[in-house]
Amino acid sequence: MPGRPDVETALNAEEASNIYDSHGAETEALLPTSRPEADAIASPTKGKSDISFTHSCRQQKFSSISVATAFVLGTVACLLAQYAICGTNCFKRYDQQLVAVHTQSKQDDVSVLASPWAGSTVVHKFPPTEPTNAFPSLFPSNVGYAGATPTGAEAAVVATAPAYPLQTGQCNHPLLRPALIPADNSSLKDKKKDSKFNLFRSWGNLSPWFSVAKGHFGVDSTAATPETCRVTGLHFLHRHGARYPTAWASYGGPAKFGTKLNVAPETWNASGDLEFLNDWTYKLGEEVLTPFGRQQLYDLGITARIKYGFLLENFTENNIIPVFRTESQDRMLASAMNFAIGFFGYPFEGQYQQSITIEEQGFNNTLAPYMTCPNARIPSKSDRGMWYISRWAEKYLHHARKRLQKHLHGLELSIQDVYIMQQMCAYETVALGYSKFCELFTEKEWDGFDYALDLQFWYGSAFGSPVSRVQGIGYIQEMIARLTHTPIETHNSSTNSTLNDNKVTFPLDHSLYVDATHEVVVLNIITALNLTSFAKSGPLPYTHIPHNRSFRSAELAPFATNIQFQLLECTSTPGPQIRVIINDGVAPLTGIEGCPEEKDGMCPLAAFVAAQKKTIAETDWDWDCHGEWDVPPGPEWETLNGSPPARR
């Protein structure tokens, strides 16, 4: 539910309450019991295409008579078995199978003139030999409270996928997408359709992060340093990498589909597009990072070092090392460690210190504020997206359910089952490298899935949620403390006074900060900052997809999403400046009081700080998180600033 990290979008209220024990701890979802694991790792040659390999396969020779006899007998046996199971239904004609599509994304050409010092030698001796602020005892590597950690089956894309994934330069990951996805149901037979559709950008918060194009958010500038300016500091906020499904889901939930199939497998069979379900097993783990998720954060660390490594010189000059923050959940800690290995290289000991806050009720934590905000754990207040997504799914998946039901005999598909199939595509791809489920849907249906997740997060974690701003306010307090180099004045939110008031665990004078959190918190912070350009097309309807909507969870909160708060000094602009860059897209700051419309998206730091201090003062933590207020489901009540009804 919104307010929980990385929620899937519905168990009903009764089911939801059973997921948490009396202390609110997450429990493991029931994973389906697998059939015999003959398909867990497929035959090394199954599904391979000759054109995908540089080596030819040597095959044993059989007589043509033996082969023909075996083929005939096998075919007859198969037909008899199918007839015994499902009668004449097995022999109906079925829709064409949707096959695979690799779309290429265009990148901006970059032209850079050589600087006068090009080719000169510069040496940064980092880390310092004896940093004065190194206190290893205050930064333990493990504080417990890791949450659920079940693992899943190992990926075997080289053996199970229809083609070998190539590093083409168009993408930087080993995930394989289908070769073709029709635009809509009317073009199922169109295998040559030229489309700019990108499946990997159509999974909402389950999408791998990607760079947003220049000007897409409304500022015609890149994340590169503006002319006449130099970067003096960076506050880097990121989400963890791709993970297995969470234990709890308010709508859908991949494990439930496998369980449904496994209850009585002898009573159903699949054919045509769904024939693979006959031997399919559920291979996903729970909660923890997938191998691709680890790669995402490792790569993110490398790119951050390449872009901002020069900031480490400030630490050497002051004989100190950076302090990065994460929290105790397994995927959060693993993400932070992989980022650090990418950023610092291995071994990273002695180059930085990792602060690990505890994610559990009873511990204040701005990176998991829902743990100290009771209203964020009440579904009617925090999970408002459930009402919208369930109704939207009935609309956009209506035809898909009918189409897929033709291929499943003896088992009735619900709309939620079909939605789970779309979830399965995303999760299997980021966990195993490839998913057969991806081929089952059209571009239009994937657009519907993407929008379903927008509804979930708009109403659960962003501008349409009554508990969004209050959850993001603690991080805003911490940012203002760092920007002004002054301690937090009043701890009246999710801030942790024990850690925040200690300059060792929460330094105020560094030029580089890196914090890891969940996507729901990233959206809470975007809302609390009052980045209103992302709310201009809200509230979001459940009846249709708005044209050119401004809020897209795939752009704002995908796996490994990241925000750069860039600090600058410019000769052409008086005073220090700040920019907000989300997934390499410069965000307009015009919704922030005192921030002008500026060509590079900059705002005077003094105006930015003043506006955020005003927001902090106007946010009522006691009322928003502990007040007895209610909001009706659906569009009868709306908010565009992430706040609840005013205090009575």
Tell how far CA 118 is from the center of its chain.
Answer: 38
Which domains occur in the chain, in start order?
204-245+289-377+457-626 (3.40.50.1240)
For residue 454, how many C-alpha atoms fall within 13 Å in the half-sphere facing its CB?
27
DSSP for 413-438 reads PPHHHHHHHHHHHHHHHHHHS--GGG
User: Rounded to whole angstroms, how far apart are CA atoms 3 and 230?
Assistant: 37
Closest C-alpha among 422, 426, 26 to residue 257: 422
What per-residue confidence (pLDDT) applies to 97?
35
Of 82, 103, 12, whose CA–CA distance to 268 is shortest? Answer: 82
**What are the residues whose beta carbons fall under 8 Å from the beta carbon of 111, sequence distance 6 or more?**
none
Greatest extent of the chain over all pairs of C-alpha atoms, in Å: 87
CA distance 162 to 387: 39
CB atoms within 10 A of CB 372: 21
Peptide bond just before 604 cis, omega within 30 deg: no
The pLDDT of residue 57:
33
pTM as predicted: 0.78
CA distance 296 to 335: 9
Q: What is the pLDDT of residue 639?
A: 97
Beta pairing, strands 512-517 & 585-586 = unpaired
The CA–CA distances, whole Å, from 570 to 16, 300, 309, 575 equal: 52, 27, 20, 8
Q: Which of 550, 478, 562, 549 is nearest to 519 (CA)?
A: 562
Q: What is the pLDDT of residue 162?
A: 60
The neighbour count for residue 448, using CB atoms within 10 Å, is 21
Beta strands 353-357 and 323-327: pairing type? parallel
Length, in residues, of the chain: 648
Instruction: Residue 165: count other Cβ atoms within 10 Å of its Cβ.
Output: 18
Q: Long-range contacts made by residues 37-44, C-beta under 8 angstroms, separation at least 24?
A: 37/281, 38/279, 39/279, 39/280, 39/281, 40/153, 40/281, 40/283, 41/153, 41/154, 41/156, 41/159, 41/160, 42/156, 42/159, 42/160, 43/159, 44/158, 44/159
Terminal-residue alpha carbon distance, the chain: 27
Cβ–Cβ contacts within 10 Å for residue 141, how many?
10
Nearest CA among 460, 15, 425 for reference residue 199: 425
For residue 73, the model assigns a pLDDT of 54
- Rg (C-alpha) for the chain, rounded Å, is 26
Torsion (CA) 83, 85, 88, 92 in degrees, nearest 10: -100
**pLDDT at residue 60, as a whole number:** 37
Contact 454, 552 (CB under 8 A): yes
pLDDT tens digit string along 495-517? 999 999 999 999 999 999 999 99
Show Cβ contacts of residue 119 under 8 Å, excluding neighbours closer than 6 positions: none
| Residues of the chain under the 50 pLDDT cut | 1-4, 7-72, 76, 78-79, 81-82, 85-86, 88-122, 156, 158-159, 166-169, 190-192
pLDDT tens sequence across 339-382 = 999 999 988 999 999 999 999 999 999 999 999 999 999 999 99
* pLDDT on residue 181: 83
Contacts of residue 633, Cβ cutoff 8 Å, sequence gap at least 6: 380, 384, 387
Which residue matches tokens 């459940």? Answer: 542
